[in-house]
């Protein structure tokens, strides 16, 4: 068990180093960062000064080692837009907003998906099942920024009951959480349904029924318990994507999270912040996957043997 | 003898192919959703191809006196502009028709790029194994640690926006899924007896991969690719919506949505119709993908 965890941890570190390499590569090797940062009319003197200041006059391997050494200490340099502000600090300041949105989204979409998916699986091929599946398909096919616009149109413009964008009281989180949750609810409903159908076909369910247990007890005690592993997988997937994948929703609703920070830093050519932001999201994703994998070994002894 | 063998081979080859199509047709007949998906997608493709002839107006033609004309069935609407006009007096229907070209082109080309990259990487990783396998799979892990759109955004941020860059970026950002699926398939195919037999008669690595491994890995690639076209269409529109995608001079669904955003309260048709067009296209692709998965490979239900 411990060897498994240590092995998995080492693997995660390798992935994070790879992420750093990729981030470094994207920003530094696909062109001269100075040319991207400075306006084209900047004088040669300014270019040279900034190059020395940023350490870009050194050989690339040295730059990469410096970059890694800084990143390990959480130092990605100063924001180019807000001089004097460490890049990572900007990201961390924005994180609570992303976390709030993710939590509210999960809080409504996961229970809905669990209930809807289970109902659809139990009454397989019924009207309820078909209806749930059509809704899920629609939810998966809606581009989230368009859904956001439509919700703003209805709730903010037409009925005027919710703010169209911004950050503040609980009323601000409703529309973004609804938009963001639509896709997750749709996908999770389908995953729960297929997982549940698989469980319901197992021998132990037939045994439970054969020995005369009521359908409710079979469902709650035998079937739902065995859904724990697929559900953990789903939640892990969700959290990973929610932390970084809210780029679109956060931007549509002017929600000040780390996803919108990514777009802002690209539009403002604030590359240290972009690096810190991408790094933060990737580390969060890898960390969550690690936790999920360790949870597996605890939930499912078969994994440990493997 | 040799001649007889030849004719038998030729004789059996055709029925196998025909029965595949027959099987597909009979499976399609059972799935009304898939039929609807094919019809909708077929219409979108037809619109995109014949945009020059069927589009009622030039999509970039600005008639400022007629700006923000509502759809034809509403008060103030005109039959000249079935779905109304935008804030510059451009015909919404024509822009949607031309926009379908960009969406389909980006989706299909990006998927071809990531398919080639991913299948290549997956074949190498699965067939040669060991160090190459470990390296490629770590790379897959690294790239999977980024949300798709974030990676696309980061590369666009450096390369700069534009139609060509969007296609390249979406192609590069999406190869991992193919690599994973193909590698898994290759690992199982590699151990099959017919591959062993091919190796025993002295077939080269290339020949084994090309004629024995690759055909057996085609089904998952088609399935993954169908869903990926849908994802790419949405991602392109999102990028364009944020001003980081296709050039503003080209009519696209994403740019129509971002243009119409400022007029949402007064002129809802600017954002509603391009969004509906995109949703229908993506929906049809998803439905077709679902059907393909059921038909080609039911084991992939959880993919």
The predicted-structure confidence for B33-47, as pLDDT tens digits, reads as follows 889 999 999 999 999
Residues of B in contact with A187 (CB under 8 A): none
Residue A35 has pLDDT above 70, yes or no: no
Put simply, the answer to whether A15 touches B156 (Cβ < 8 Å) is no
Q: What is the mean pLDDT of residues B167-187?
A: 89
> Of how many residues is chain A composed?
306
Put simply, the answer to whether A245 touches B278 (Cβ < 8 Å) is no
User: How would residue B206 be classed by pLDDT, with cut points 50, 70 and 90?
Assistant: confident
Residue B181 has pLDDT above 80, yes or no: yes
Say whether residue B302 is in contact with chain A using an 8 A CB cutoff. Answer: yes
Q: How far is CA B174 from CA A60, B147, B240, in A?
A: 28, 10, 18
Put simply, the answer to whether A262 touches B268 (Cβ < 8 Å) is no
Identify the pLDDT of residue A24: 82
User: How would residue B192 be classed by pLDDT, with cut points 50, 70 and 90?
Assistant: confident
Identify the pLDDT of residue A77: 80
For B78, the 3-state DSSP assignment is strand
- Half-sphere exposure of B209 toward its Cβ, with a 13 Å CA cutoff? 15
The predicted-structure confidence for B62-71, as pLDDT tens digits, reads as follows 888 888 888 9
Q: What is the mean pLDDT of residues B126-130?
A: 83
Q: Can you tell me the ipTM of this complex?
A: 0.82
How far apart are the CA of B180 and the nearest CA of chain A, in angstroms?
16
Q: What is the mean pLDDT of residues A126-149?
A: 88
Residues of B in contact with A179 (CB under 8 A): none
What average pLDDT does chain B have? 85
* Nearest residue, CB atoms, A143 vs list B141, B238, B302: B238
A299 vs B161, residue with greater confidence: B161
Say whether residue B278 is in contact with chain A using an 8 A CB cutoff. Answer: yes
For B85, the 3-state DSSP assignment is strand
What does DSSP assign to residue B303? -
Identify the pLDDT of residue A32: 64
Give the C-alpha separation, A285 to A281, whole Å: 6
Residue of B nearest to A135 (CA): B283
* Nearest residue, CB atoms, B286 vs list A137, A146, A152: A137
* Nearest residue, CB atoms, B286 vs list A141, A194, A285: A141
H-type helices in A126-170, by residue range?
A: 127-141, 144-151
User: How would residue A112 be classed by pLDDT, with cut points 50, 70 and 90?
Assistant: very high
Residue B108 has pLDDT above 90, yes or no: yes
How far apart are the CA of B40 and the nearest CA of chain A, in angstroms?
14
């Amino acid at each position: 068990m411990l060897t498994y965890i240590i092995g998995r941890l080492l693997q995660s570190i390798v992935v994070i180093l790879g992420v750093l390499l990729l981030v470094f590569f994207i920003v530094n090797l696909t062109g001269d960062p100075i040319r991207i940062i400075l306006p084209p009319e900047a004088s040669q003197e300014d270019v040279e000064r900034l190059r020395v200041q940023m350490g870009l006059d050194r050989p690339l391997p040295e730059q990469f080692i410096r970059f890694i050494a800084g990143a390990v200490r959480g130092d990605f340099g100063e924001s180019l837009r807000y001089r004097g502000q460490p890049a990572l600090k900007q990201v961390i300041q924005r994180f609570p907003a992303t976390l709030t949105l993710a939590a509210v989204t999960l809080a409504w979409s996961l229970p809905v998906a669990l209930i809807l998916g289970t109902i659809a699986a139990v009454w397989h091929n019924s009207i309820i099942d078909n209806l749930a599946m059509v809704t899920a398909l629609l939810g998966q096919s809606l581009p989230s920024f368009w859904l956001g616009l439509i919700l703003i149109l209805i709730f903010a413009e037409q009925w005027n009951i919710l703010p169209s964008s911004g950050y503040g009281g609980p009323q601000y989180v409703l529309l973004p959480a609804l938009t963001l949750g639509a896709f997750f609810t749709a996908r999770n409903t389908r995953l729960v349904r297929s997982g549940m159908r698989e469980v319901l076909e197992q021998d132990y369910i037939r045994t439970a029924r054969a020995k005369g247990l009521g359908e409710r007890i079979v469902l709650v005690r035998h079937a739902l318990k065995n859904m724990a592993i697929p559900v953990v997988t789903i939640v892990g997937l969700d959290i990973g994507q929610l932390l970084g994948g809210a780029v679109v929703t956060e931007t549509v609703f002017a929600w000040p999270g780390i996803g919108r920070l990514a777009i802002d830093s690209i539009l403002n050519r604030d590359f240290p912040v972009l690096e810190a932001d991408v790094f933060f999201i990737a580390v969060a994703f890898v960390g969550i996957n690690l936790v999920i994998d360790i949870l597996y070994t605890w939930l499912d002894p078969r994994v440990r043997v493997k | 003898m040799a001649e007889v063998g030849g004719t038998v081979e030729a004789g059996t080859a055709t029925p196998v192919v025909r029965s595949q199509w027959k099987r597909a047709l009979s499976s399609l007949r059972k799935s009304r959703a898939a039929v609807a998906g094919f019809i909708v997608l077929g219409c979108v493709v037809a619109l995109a191809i014949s945009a020059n002839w069927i589009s009622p107006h030039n999509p970039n033609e600005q008639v400022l006196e007629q700006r923000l004309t509502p759809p034809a069935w509403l008060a103030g609407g005109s039959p000249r502009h079935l779905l109304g006009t935008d804030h510059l007096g451009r015909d919404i229907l024509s822009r949607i028709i031309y926009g379908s070209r960009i969406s389909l082109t980006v989706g299909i080309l990006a998927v071809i790029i990531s398919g080639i990259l991913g299948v290549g990487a997956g074949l190498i990783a699965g067939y040669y194994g060991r160090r190459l396998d470990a390296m490629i799979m770590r790379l897959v892990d690294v790239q999977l640690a980024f949300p798709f759109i974030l990676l696309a955004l980061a590369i666009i941020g450096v390369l700069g926006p534009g139609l060509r860059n969007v296609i390249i970026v979406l192609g590069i950002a999406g190869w991992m899924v193919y690599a994973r699926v193909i590698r898994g398939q290759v690992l199982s195919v590699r151990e099959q007896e017919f591959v062993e037999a091919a190796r025993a008669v002295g077939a080269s690595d290339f020949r084994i991969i090309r004629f024995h491994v690759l055909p057996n890995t085609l089904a998952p690639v088609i399935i993954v690719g169908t869903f990926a076209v849908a994802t790419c269409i949405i991602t392109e529109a999102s990028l364009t919506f944020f001003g980081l995608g296709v050039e503003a001079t080209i009519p696209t669904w994403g740019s129509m949505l971002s243009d119409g955003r400022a007029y949402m309260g007064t002129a809802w048709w600017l954002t509603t119709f391009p969004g509906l067009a995109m949703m229908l296209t993506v929906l049809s692709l998803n439905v077709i993908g679902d059907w393909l998965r059921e038909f080609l490979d039911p084991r992939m239900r959880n993919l």
